[in-house]
Amino acid sequence: MTSLVELLGKIDDLDRDEVIHAVRPWTRQSDAACLAEPDDGSSASPGLAYLLEVDLVHDVAEVWSSWRGGRRPTTEELADAVIHYAMHDAYLEPEGTG
């Protein structure tokens, strides 16, 4: 299986309507997959927990970048920001703020 950081390295190729699921506890190296959400509300894949919609990952990356002078996040930084957003329902602020 693909790690979260590897999957996020291909974020521009993923369908914005799909959802990223990953093994908990979420880390950069968690096994992850991008899946369509089942219509019946059941778990999309055994062992994987909902993390974030691909469309929201793009939003997280845009906010991360805008708060850091336009610099694009590395895949590791994006993974940290996505995990933070998924756990706190808030964007990851730059170091030294907040």
What does the pLDDT look like over 76-87, one tens digit per residue?
A: 999 999 999 999
Residue 98 located in a structural domain? no
Residue 18 located in a structural domain? yes
Residue 96 located in a structural domain? no
Mean pLDDT of 41-69: 90
Overall number of domains in the chain = 1
pTM of the model: 0.91
Residue 32 located in a structural domain? yes
Residue 37 located in a structural domain? yes
Q: What is the pLDDT of residue 38?
A: 62
d(CA 21, CA 90): 18
Domain hosting residue 7, numbered range: 2-88
